[in-house]
Amino acid sequence: MKLKVYVEEAYNELVHKVSWPTWKELQGSAIVVMVASFIIALVIFFMDFSFENLMKMIYKLFY
């Protein structure tokens, strides 16, 4: 019985109380997320590339 009440309340809240974004807002948010993800991926790539070259230089000093 509690499960039924929970599902009904959850449905009512999702249908009547939640404000869903418009298609335009959703597209804008998706673009922001993609651009931010790309920038973070580039930063991590350059950090990895720099660290790799630094470690190669250090290893060459000792071997």
Q: Is residue 33 part of a domain?
A: yes
Structural domain including 61 reads 23-63
Q: What's the CA angle centered on 9, arms 5 and 14, to 5 degrees?
A: 150
Q: What is the pTM of this model?
A: 0.67
Residue 40, both tokens: 């973070």
Number of structural domains, the chain? 1
What is the predicted pLDDT for the residue at 11? 95
What is the predicted pLDDT for the residue at 9? 95
Residue 28, both tokens: 């804008």
Residue 41, both tokens: 């991926």
Per-residue pLDDT for 1 more than 90? no
What CA–CA distance (Å, rounded) separates 34 from 39?
9
Per-residue pLDDT for 63 more than 90? no
pLDDT digits (tens, 9 = 90+) for 4-60: 999 999 999 999 999 999 999 999 999 999 999 999 999 999 999 999 999 999 999
